[in-house]
Amino acid sequence: MMEKATKSALIVGATGLVGKELVDIVLNEPNYHSVTILTRKLLPLTHPKLEQIITDFDQLDQYQQHLQVDDVYCCLGTTIKTAGSQDAFRKVDLTYPLELAVLTKSLGAQKFLIITAMGADPDSKVFYSRVKGEIEVELKDLGFSALHIFRPSLLLGERQEFRLGERIGVILSPVLSFLMVGSLKKYKPIHAKVVAMAMYQASLLPKSGSFTYESDEIYRLSTESNS
């Protein structure tokens, strides 16, 4: 007899490349009895476990009744080009995730799972990598029972927005994947669905602490069975 699901999940960034794949996975796996999405626009999706909340991310504290969950999946992310400025980018990739983490932790969340990026480093001279590294440091200081940080390389999948660099990477992906072996494995392009599955698998791990996964580790985790 299948055990009754006892956990609840929150997904932020559900319209993004990884977020869309993650929603599909968590809704169809038996471990959650409810899945809440904070979003600026509704997904064309209905499910008995799903609740979608149209959200003003500048007023996250107004949604606390929806933030009392066990596991938080943060898939927020943008580019400086899309955001329009470094300040706007920083808001999406650091301010919002940190506020989300602080609020959900205060309301009882046990696990926080977030996508940053390969090369994340708070001391990096590259603004993008520095912001990604800063959010990692901030989250580690919050003391979640379990913090899982995912640093994928080039993400493969169907985006709604056009990104020239990623399109070139997709074209070159078969060659890059063939060449990247050994210590270079973490640089291989990785599909968004693989990252999403790794995030879900990490949520099942019965261990505490802070864990960081590069692309090769993400791929390995996605293929494990922890249920």
Catalytic residues: 128, 132
The tally of CA atoms less than 13 A away on the side-chain side of residue 195 is 34
Could you tell me which of 120, 135, 142, 100 has the C-alpha nearest to residue 186? 120
What is the spatial distance between Cα 87 and Cα 127, in angstroms, rounded to a whole number? 11
What is the spatial distance between Cα 25 and Cα 17, in angstroms, rounded to a whole number? 13
Instruction: For residue 7, list its beta bridge partners.
Output: 32
Contacts of 44 (CB under 8 A, 6+ apart): none
What is the spatial distance between Cα 15 and Cα 10, in angstroms, rounded to a whole number? 13
The distance from CA 151 to its chain's CA centroid, rounded to whole angstroms, is 9
Dihedral, CA of residue 209, residue 210, residue 215 and residue 218, to nearest 10? 30
Could you tell me which of 127, 132, 134 has the C-alpha nearest to residue 117? 132
